[in-house]
Amino acid sequence: MIIKSRKLKELKYQLLNEINYFNTESQVFYKFNLIFIALFAIILIYISIIDIKSLSIGLKELIILLIFTITYFTFKLFFSGNMVLFDIFKGIIFSLLFFLIIILLTKNKGIGIGDMIFFSLCSINIGFINSLEAILIAFILGMIYSIFLILLRKANLKTKLPFIPFLSIGILLSLFFKCVY
């Protein structure tokens, strides 16, 4: 009877240690995700401002995003394992094909290559589902803003508008919805 009780206590102790280890690891990942979203938001706002001012983004901004993406991807891979790779791969393929089709259809007069590279890097960070949500939100917001400018006669159908701010808002809203739901 004492042996069974001792084994039961040892098993209980091992189980509690495993739960505590999992909780600690989850808490670290959760806290890192909060830091990630904050840093990601700052980078997105910075690149959006550059796009608003110049209607393009430079190599420096893309390198900043690339360094951030590699850092986050490495950390995410460490905590999530290989499960995350397929989702990231789907996000990249989706964003590249989606923007490539738009660029080819508009003969590079609509969305630019910088938008495609920007969103492809962002897709690595947010995954496939969030990429779909972000694109949908970005196009809806961009369309509403464009219609509003046309109605106010501040723009016409040939006016160039920055698209990265709309993509950034879409990305941040999709991340927010992911956290809330």
Of 134, 125, 122, 128, nearest to 77 by C-alpha is: 125
Cα–Cα nearest to 164, from 63, 18, 49: 49
So what's the pLDDT on residue 43?
96
Q: For position 90, what pLDDT does the model report? A: 85
In this prediction, residue 13 carries a pLDDT of: 56
Report the sign of the C-alpha dihedral through residues 83, 84, 85, 86, in that order. positive
Q: Which two tokens stand for residue 47?
A: 């690149």
pLDDT tens, residue order, the chain (181 aa): 455 566 666 655 555 555 454 444 556 666 777 888 899 999 999 999 999 999 989 999 999 999 999 998 888 777 766 667 777 888 888 888 988 898 888 887 778 888 989 999 999 888 888 999 999 999 999 999 999 999 998 888 888 889 999 999 999 999 888 765 5
For residues 87 and 91, what is the distance between their CA atoms, to the nearest angstrom? 6
Q: Is the separation of the CB atoms in 115 and 167 below 8 Å?
A: yes
Break the chain into its structural domains and give their ranges: 37-180
Work out the number of other CB atoms within 10 angstroms of the CB of residue 36.
18
- The pLDDT value recorded for residue 113 is 85
